[in-house]
Structures are given as C-alpha cells and as structure tokens.
Structure 1
C-alpha cells in the first residue's frame, strides 16, 4: 500500500534529521519526501498500516503530519 502525508518538513536538513528515525520505525518500508510540493509530501510504501506510527513519530519531532486520503 502507498500512504501519502502532508507534512511541515520544509528542507533537506529536516528530512535528514528524520531519516534514521523513520528507518528505525519502518525498516522494510520505502519512503521519500517531495519537498517541491506545496504540501511537503511524504510518501511511504509499506505492507502494514503505518499511519499511527508515522504521524506520532513526526509529531514527536515537532512536525505536522496528516494523511491525505
């Protein structure tokens, strides 16, 4: 499944800070940020439902994160 989130991550420095945390929480998932998009999109390809995990993780690091449906 592919999950798409609107985030408040604004640049590569912030993305880099989150990388190890996302990899730790979602070790088998493929993910990337599209910071060129106005919604600073985070796309995650995962076999499990990761919505709660990723929104909690980003909010813990003071970023907004909302699943786009």
Structure 2
C-alpha cells in the first residue's frame, strides 16, 4: 500500500525527525518527503499502514498532514 500526504514541513531536519518517528511506528516501510514539491509531499509505502495514525503522529508534532487527493 502506498499513501501520499500533503504537509507543511519546510526543513530537511524536520522531515528527518518525522521519518524516524514514523519508522518507529511502521518498521519495514519506505517513508520519504519531497520538500521541493509545492505540497511538501510525504510518501509512505508499507504493508501495515494506518492512515489515521500517520496523520496523528505528524499533526502531534505541529505539522499539517492530510491525504493528497
């Protein structure tokens, strides 16, 4: 399963911290940000993804996170 989210993450260091956090909750997943995209895209690929949990983890750190249509 692959899910793509729109975020407002601006800094590479912030993205790194979020990737590390998400990997703790979703090990064996592929997670990355595209900060060059206008939507600051977060892409998560894995077998046991829980979309609501991804959004909750990111928003609890103070960032916007919603599924990209």
Tell me the distance in 2 between the aligned counterparts of 1:30 and 1:19.
9
Superposition misfits of 4+ residues, deviation over 4 angstroms: none
Q: Offset of 1:49 from its aligned partner?
A: 3.5
55-64 or 9-18, which moves further after superposition?
A: 9-18
- Between the two proteins, the alignment pairs up a number of residues equal to 69
Partner of 1:21: 21
Tell me the distance in 2 between the aligned counterparts of 1:32 and 1:17.
11
Task: Give unmatched runs, 5+ long, in structure 1.
Answer: none
Task: Give unmatched runs, 5+ long, in structure 2.
Answer: none
Tell me the distance in 1 between the aligned counterparts of 2:19 and 2:31.
10
- Change in CA separation of 1:39 and 1:28 when aligned onto 2, cut-off 3 Å: same
Give the TM-score taking structure 1 as reference length: 0.90
Partner of 1:7: 7
- Change in CA separation of 1:55 and 1:12 when aligned onto 2, cut-off 3 Å: same
Give the TM-score taking structure 2 as reference length: 0.90
- The CA RMSD measured in Å over matched residues stands at 1.1
